[in-house]
A and B are shown apart, each in its own frame.
Chain A
Amino acid sequence: METSETTQQGKQYHRISGKKYGARLESRTLEEQIQEAVAEGHRRIEVEAFGQHGIGGRLWRAGGEPLVIRISGHSGQRVGSMGYANTRIVVDGPASDDVGWLNAGAEITVLGNAANGAGNAMAQGKILVAGNIGARGMTMTKRNPRFEPPELWVLGSAGDYFGEFMAGGIAVICGWKPQTPENVLGYRPLVGMVGGKVFFRGPHAGFSQVDAKLIPIEDDDWRWLQENMALFLERIRRTELLESLSDRTQWQLLSFRTPQEKAAREKRPMADYRRQVWDAELGAGGLIGDLVSYDRSPIGLVTTGDLRRFVPVWENRKYAPPCEATCPTGIPVHERWRLVREGRVDEAVDLALSFTPFPATICGYLCPNLCMQACTRQSTGMAPVDVTQIGKASIEAGIPELPPESGRTVAVIGGGPAGLSVAWQLRRQGHRAVVYDMATSLGGKITATIPGSRIPKEVLDKELERVAEVIPHIHLHQKLEKTDVERLVEDYDFVVVAVGAQSPRTLPIPGKERLTPALEFLARAKENAVEVGRRVVIIGAGNVGCDVAAEAHRLGAEDITLVDVQEPLSFGKERMAAEAVGAKFLWPRATQAVTDQGVELADGETLSADTVVISIGDAPELSFLPGDITVEKGFIQVNEWFQTTNPKVFAIGDAVRPGLLTDAVGAGRKAAQAITDYLAGRRPMPDKRQMMDLHRVHLEYFDPRITGFEDVETCGSQCASCGACRDCGLCAAICPQTAIHREEIADGGYEYVVDPERCIGCGFCAGACPCGIWDLVENFPIG
């Protein structure tokens, strides 16, 4: 069919047919013909279409002059795509897919239904549909602020997925004789809508609630709709419907949700759901409200009161400090230093008399001072507090105040350190102690055998005088036989055996008669009544052997050798004294014989000697003991309270097991305590305090450069007071919660108290306390 001029409504149309010589033109060819016609100046064009695509778009060659394109026949897809604002397109019948695709301004009237994708991605212009539209209408539409928004008018209904990702423009769905009367907006409309609005009339079956919302039609909206409705109806030639479509109550308006609205999308708050649904079904308290009654509501990470995981406890004096715990006599050394710090040196000195009758002799001179060896300061290499200073000062201690006698009596056999200790303590408890000893003077081993070089005579004498004043009933030079002892057991409330070990052990070797027992040697040496010669060999290199060496040197020996079968057990001051006089230690060497030449060793060597002393220990002489007292391996068998198999008889000191002077004194104190308890009808109770954990004590507060102590005051200031509060107030100061304060208590003392409602259980008090008083313990269990 040829191109020709036709007329309609008195206007001339340039007619272009989609067929030539009976054959359908390709879309490309038809497009070229339309563009050519516009270029030639035609402004009214009628296109007879045969399914060609994209008719009516892109007609900028008209240079902005109005242009009308009428399409008859079967328009193909994308009618008016990329249409220009000068273009008005009228499709005289239905339109295929994607009418107005990427429309940039054209007005496209479809005088029938439009298929899928009507208005897809249009940004300007109008699409006016006289029927229904298919799926995905008005999707991806835009609104460019430089232009008026695009419009899609549909007389009937929209298909499914209407308005997906709609980003602008106005759609009007009139619902007039809709294809789907029950739902004019189709299935799942407006998914992803971010702009524009949709007027619609008629029922709908839901829309994307997260993207769109129904809003009221304001007067301006309605005025706009009314005005443009008239235009729409005129274009689609249905002006008669204006009244039917003008009932404002039948119209609804959908708009997009703003990003802010989407962010604050309404979901039922969980707390509401729990209350209204969960708890309503399960019951108050939810899942386990029937099983527990305690609060399960949220709490913070840092809590106070009962919600603390750990709580601090002020454990003042709960544990024994290492000095006290390791002192066999049990002297609370740290208490003496506290008294010194408080300026009460006299009381510090006197305090020792509660524990020992020999505070100067033993603590000050003869004791290896286990307290100092155990001193917490030693654990970091700091010099231990020097207890010998307060020990030596104790010579000034006066006679303790003594209670009146109770009438109960105890016989003590042996006036050595153990016997005098038990007698001393019994008298302090109010009981009469009567001491018997074979020797002519009191003090046992201290007096008889310990070299004068180690203990000034005046110190020992002064302490013995004090002892004699406290214990007036002393019978010296009394050797007791078995019958005597049996009588004592009958006559006294209790008998304490403290006879020591005085029977020297010797070796079954040839020439053993040439050996001088060590204790005998020491006793004679102390009286300067022995000729030692130049060369002295001592068999047995323990501390007693060392004392022998020192005494032998004092008496003129030059070549002194100590022989032992094992590594010598000697230590401390005795060992140092022996080494200081040049004594040689040979070990492991066994002795084979003693001759007039000296000592023959098992390996054949002979040690020349003028004097040979045997110093391999001593055993108690116990032939006087009544038969009901069990002796095991040469020593008296006792229980933890030093009670023998005869409950009325106690045994202490070297007669029970060889030990230090302080062991003997401590045994006396412990036996006296047990006896006192029995006399009062009580069971003796052990001191259950454990030793302080060194790690709780903080020595960083003390000067590590102190290597010696000038006086007792320095000693006192450098004592860490392990386990006993120094009342420094550091805990109250470090507490980040101000939860700790000091409180005076009734007896004149004080305590540090925690306010549980402020405390968070951080443990800073325990971490800072120099004395290790505070501990952090688990709170009580809940649930």
Chain B
Amino acid sequence: MQTDGPVTPSTLSVKDLPWQILWSKEKCSLCGRCTAVCPVNAIELGVFRKRVLDVSIDPSHPPSNLYQVYHGIRQKTDPAYSCVGCASCSLVCPNDAIFPMHSDEVDKLRFHKDRGGQPRRRGGRRNVAQSTLDQIKFIRISMLTDPALDAGRHEFELRTLLGRILPPEDNLAFLSENGWIPPVREIYPLIIGSMSFGALSPNMWEGLQLGISYLNDELGMPVRMCTGEGGCPPRLLRSRFLKNVILQIASGYFGWDEIIHAIPEMKVDPCAVEIKYGQGAKPGDGGLLMWYKVNRLIAAIRGVPAGVSLPSPPTHQTKYSIEESVAKMIQSMYMAWGFRVPVYPKISGTSTAMAVLNNLARNPYAGGLAIDGEDGGTGAAYNVSMNHMGYPIASNIRDAYLTLSTIGMQNELPLFAGGGIGKNGNLAANAAALIMLGASGVQIGKYAMQAAAGCLGSESDRCNICNIGLCPKGITSQDPRLYRRLDVDKVAERVVDMYLSFDTELKKIVAPLGRSTSLPIGMSDALGIGDHHAAERLKIKYVI
């Protein structure tokens, strides 16, 4: 009901909202499916009064008014129930009678999303669609030079190495001096990055794991997935599938006692351990899993009682320097599996990344460095952190690679890049660009959610409600009523499709380079960009 009372500063009209629900009275059959499915209750049945004037100028039949009532779909304007544009309504509408349209101007709602002094928090990604990676072209096309390779016909070695690779002389010296050589994994260069059990729904998480397991077992692709911080289901820890898993430890240390208890019962070693120091989506900020999301399942996996809030602080509470982190954490993590499992840190993209890298270069235990750029996604963060904090991945990874080249270690300490890879759908092109800029592999999150589970989020601020547990696709919800919308098998099938098509596309890119025996890591002479400043900064060719 629209009141005629006084407006408040936050009284908004439909026009002021970011999304307008377009509803067709003509097409609607009033089936109720749209209001039943709307994740944020932005729409409801409305009662509309229509006035019809019975016109007459005949004094013996004076004009009169007739009121008719009809029912239809009404959009709420209360900021707490504003449409997020997910279009679940359209998805279920039998008559295509309803869909959200994005406002043609900057919405007014954004100025009011701070009720109670609480700034806006959301899930998703940086609301900027532009991508430097998309601008990078692969300009080296071998036709009559180099071996002219055929992506469809030739065989390509696309695996990459994760772990510290010693130069031969050091290798021999290590072996003779302390009898140890750092463990190295041969893995597929497209890694499903850290998304926790808790941030993702059980069905989503299992679908991803099932998909990569299938890729490993049935298709021979050594795909790996990082757990994110939130522990790892006990059964997975005790299964042979653990080899596909990169276990993450982060500042909340959730689930690690369960992992430690499982070590004696593990059939295989995990692929690696990732120590998270930062995240591209919310650099310098931590996380908080609210108590109401910590149901019995999440609690069991994280090794906590149900119904308590779980803070992951922005920093590791007892680590005050890179040196300390390396000394305490990397080495300790190696000890857990008898120095058989590579350990590497992950940081958010930052202007201080080279300081971290230099330190790692001097530490023989560092198994790599993962850098997560500003376009990374997250389940929950402050809008300001997501939109305004962070360092673009392209130049950060480039600087890191060139730094390693300068000290002659570019083949020894693998770099992994994350953050916005495939943000506009160009997964293989973005991944290949980063590899040729110097990454040994890439980590993806959002792309997997979009491709494997139909995530509706976008840089136009569509949906992006991962943080409130109401994901309309069931990807980031712990409510079975929502996450059972995801079929574990179908998610897994999509993971397989995604990897197979990525594989083909990556070959389409590397074949013309004449590279089939190893990934073209750092092969930057193949890259060009139509932006002179970007070319200078990335030290690649300026092409126009």
Interface residues of A (CB under 8 A from B): 161, 164-165, 188, 191-192, 267-268, 270-271, 273-274, 277-278, 281-283, 286-292, 294-303, 307-310, 379-381, 694-695, 697-701, 703-705, 734-737, 760-764, 766-768, 779, 781-783
Q: A274-B492, A278-B210, A736-B31 are in contact. Are A287 and B1 (CB under 8 A)?
A: no
Cβ of B206 and Cβ of A301 under 8 Å apart?
Answer: no
In whole angstroms, what is the CA distance A308 to B33 when docked?
Answer: 12
In whole angstroms, what is the CA distance A652 to B83 when docked?
Answer: 52
Check: B479 CB closer than 8 A to any chain A CB: yes
Looking across the interface, which residue of chain A has its beta carbon closest to that of B492? A270
Cβ of B45 and Cβ of A767 under 8 Å apart?
Answer: yes
Contact for B36 among A273, A694, A700, A762, CB less than 8 A: A762
In whole angstroms, what is the CA distance A744 to B415 when docked?
Answer: 73
Contacts of B206 in A (CB 8 A): 286-288
Q: A273-B217, A296-B203, A700-B49 are in contact. Are A768 and B71 (CB under 8 A)?
A: yes
Cβ of A270 and Cβ of B36 under 8 Å apart?
Answer: no
User: Which has the most chain B C-beta neighbours within 10 Å: A192, A277, A779?
Assistant: A277
In whole angstroms, what is the CA distance A782 to B487 when docked?
Answer: 18
In whole angstroms, what is the CA distance A218 to B104 when docked?
Answer: 68
In whole angstroms, what is the CA distance A569 to B214 when docked?
Answer: 80
Contact for A287 among B217, B235, B295, CB less than 8 A: B235
Cβ of B49 and Cβ of A301 under 8 Å apart?
Answer: no
Contacts of A695 in B (CB 8 A): 1, 3
Cβ of B67 and Cβ of A703 under 8 Å apart?
Answer: yes
Contacts of A299 in B (CB 8 A): 481, 484-485
Cβ of B67 and Cβ of A704 under 8 Å apart?
Answer: yes
In whole angstroms, what is the CA distance A308 to B49 when docked?
Answer: 30
Q: Mark B246-261, 1 if CB is under 8 A from A, else 0.
A: 0000000000000000
Contacts of B67 in A (CB 8 A): 703-704
Q: A282-B239, A301-B91, A760-B32 are in contact. Are A782 and B479 (CB under 8 A)?
A: yes
**Interface-facing stretch out of B296-304, B427-435, B509-517:** B296-304
Looking across the interface, which residue of chain B has its beta carbon closest to that of A734? B71
Looking across the interface, which residue of chain A has its beta carbon closest to that of B44? A767
In whole angstroms, what is the CA distance A709 to B396 when docked?
Answer: 76
Sample of 8 A–B contacts (CB below 8 Å) = A287-B233, A288-B301, A292-B296, A379-B5, A736-B30, A737-B32, A760-B33, A764-B30
Looking across the interface, which residue of chain B has its beta carbon closest to that of A283? B235
In the complex, how many angstroms separate the beta carbon of A367 from the nearest chain B beta carbon?
24
Contacts of B46 in A (CB 8 A): 767
Cβ of B45 and Cβ of A301 under 8 Å apart?
Answer: no
In whole angstroms, what is the CA distance A483 to B395 when docked?
Answer: 96
Question: Could you list 12 further interchain pairs (A-B, Cβ under 8 angstroms) beyond the known A735-B32, A767-B35?
Answer: A270-B496, A274-B489, A278-B210, A298-B490, A736-B31, A736-B32, A760-B33, A762-B31, A763-B45, A767-B45, A768-B71, A782-B480
Q: Mark B412-423, 1 if CB is under 8 A from A, else 0.
A: 000000000000
In the complex, how many angstroms separate the beta carbon of A632 from the nearest chain B beta carbon?
36
Residues of A contacting B: mostly: loop
Cβ of B36 and Cβ of A698 under 8 Å apart?
Answer: no
Cβ of B297 and Cβ of A783 under 8 Å apart?
Answer: yes
Check: B209 CB closer than 8 A to any chain A CB: yes
Cβ of A734 and Cβ of B30 under 8 Å apart?
Answer: yes
In whole angstroms, what is the CA distance A543 to B116 when docked?
Answer: 40
Contact for B3 among A274, A380, A767, CB less than 8 A: A380
Contacts of B32 in A (CB 8 A): 735-737, 760, 762-764
Interface residues of B (CB under 8 A from A): 1-5, 30-37, 41, 44-49, 65, 67, 69, 71, 74, 88, 91-92, 152-153, 155, 202-203, 205-206, 209-210, 213-214, 217-218, 233-236, 239-241, 295-297, 300-301, 472, 478-490, 492-493, 496
In whole angstroms, what is the CA distance A783 to B233 when docked?
Answer: 16
Cβ of A697 and Cβ of B1 under 8 Å apart?
Answer: yes
In the complex, how many angstroms separate the beta carbon of B170 from the nearest chain A beta carbon?
36
Contacts of A287 in B (CB 8 A): 202, 205-206, 209, 233, 235-236
Contacts of A164 in B (CB 8 A): 153
Cβ of A768 and Cβ of B478 under 8 Å apart?
Answer: no
In whole angstroms, what is the CA distance A782 to B48 when docked?
Answer: 36
In the complex, how many angstroms separate the beta carbon of A601 from the nearest chain B beta carbon?
35
Contacts of B44 in A (CB 8 A): 763, 766-767
Contacts of B496 in A (CB 8 A): 270
Cβ of B71 and Cβ of A767 under 8 Å apart?
Answer: yes
Contacts of B240 in A (CB 8 A): 281
In the complex, how many angstroms separate the beta carbon of B270 from the nearest chain A beta carbon?
15
Q: A281-B240, A287-B209, A301-B88 are in contact. Are A700 and B37 (CB under 8 A)?
A: no
Cβ of A699 and Cβ of B36 under 8 Å apart?
Answer: no
Cβ of A782 and Cβ of B1 under 8 Å apart?
Answer: no
Cβ of B213 and Cβ of A705 under 8 Å apart?
Answer: no
Cβ of B233 and Cβ of A291 under 8 Å apart?
Answer: yes
Looking across the interface, which residue of chain B has its beta carbon closest to that of A278? B210
Cβ of A379 and Cβ of B479 under 8 Å apart?
Answer: no
In the complex, how many angstroms separate the beta carbon of A776 from the nearest chain B beta carbon?
8
Closest CB pairs A-B (n = 6): A767-B45, A762-B32, A700-B49, A298-B487, A736-B32, A762-B36
Contact for B488 among A192, A274, A294, CB less than 8 A: A274
Contact for B480 among A278, A282, A761, A783, CB less than 8 A: A783
In whole angstroms, what is the CA distance A283 to B486 when docked?
Answer: 21
Cβ of A309 and Cβ of B481 under 8 Å apart?
Answer: yes
In the complex, how many angstroms separate the beta carbon of A292 from the nearest chain B beta carbon?
5
In whole angstroms, what is the CA distance A165 to B153 when docked?
Answer: 9
Contact for A300 among B241, B297, B485, CB less than 8 A: B485
Q: A270-B492, A270-B493, A273-B218 are in contact. Are A302 and B47 (CB under 8 A)?
A: no
In the complex, how many angstroms separate the beta carbon of B509 from the nearest chain A beta carbon?
20
In the complex, how many angstroms separate the beta carbon of A257 from the nearest chain B beta carbon?
15
In the complex, how many angstroms separate the beta carbon of A541 from the nearest chain B beta carbon?
26
Cβ of A734 and Cβ of B45 under 8 Å apart?
Answer: yes
Cβ of B45 and Cβ of A277 under 8 Å apart?
Answer: no
Cβ of A307 and Cβ of B481 under 8 Å apart?
Answer: yes
In whole angstroms, what is the CA distance A46 to B370 when docked?
Answer: 70
In whole angstroms, what is the CA distance A704 to B296 when docked?
Answer: 53
In whole angstroms, what is the CA distance A779 to B482 when docked?
Answer: 12
In the complex, how many angstroms separate the beta carbon of B52 from the nearest chain A beta carbon?
13
In the complex, how many angstroms separate the beta carbon of A460 from the nearest chain B beta carbon?
37
In whole angstroms, what is the CA distance A290 to B30 when docked?
Answer: 43
In whole angstroms, what is the CA distance A767 to B49 when docked?
Answer: 14
In whole angstroms, what is the CA distance A161 to B150 when docked?
Answer: 13
Looking across the interface, which residue of chain B has its beta carbon closest to that of A292? B297
In whole angstroms, what is the CA distance A278 to B34 when docked?
Answer: 36
Cβ of B234 and Cβ of A698 under 8 Å apart?
Answer: no
Cβ of A698 and Cβ of B297 under 8 Å apart?
Answer: no
Contact for B35 among A165, A188, A281, A762, CB less than 8 A: A762
Cβ of A379 and Cβ of B480 under 8 Å apart?
Answer: no
Cβ of B4 and Cβ of A380 under 8 Å apart?
Answer: yes
Contacts of A734 in B (CB 8 A): 30, 45, 71
Cβ of B295 and Cβ of A768 under 8 Å apart?
Answer: no
In whole angstroms, what is the CA distance A277 to B211 when docked?
Answer: 12
In the complex, how many angstroms separate the beta carbon of B229 from the nearest chain A beta carbon?
18
Q: A270-B489, A737-B32 are in contact. Are A704 and B218 (CB under 8 A)?
A: no
Cβ of A296 and Cβ of B480 under 8 Å apart?
Answer: yes
In whole angstroms, what is the CA distance A766 to B76 when docked?
Answer: 14
Q: A379-B1, A700-B49, A783-B296 are in contact. Are A298 and B239 (CB under 8 A)?
A: no
Contacts of A297 in B (CB 8 A): 484
Contacts of A761 in B (CB 8 A): 36
User: Which has the most chain B C-beta neighbours within 10 Å: A299, A303, A694, A701?
Assistant: A299
In the complex, how many angstroms separate the beta carbon of A726 from the nearest chain B beta carbon?
14
Contacts of A782 in B (CB 8 A): 479-481
Cβ of A274 and Cβ of B210 under 8 Å apart?
Answer: yes
Contacts of B4 in A (CB 8 A): 379-381
Cβ of B480 and Cβ of A700 under 8 Å apart?
Answer: no
In whole angstroms, what is the CA distance A278 to B235 when docked?
Answer: 11
Contacts of B2 in A (CB 8 A): 380
Cβ of B47 and Cβ of A701 under 8 Å apart?
Answer: yes
Contacts of A764 in B (CB 8 A): 30, 32, 35, 45, 71
Q: A288-B202, A296-B488, A763-B44 are in contact. Are A698 and B241 (CB under 8 A)?
A: no
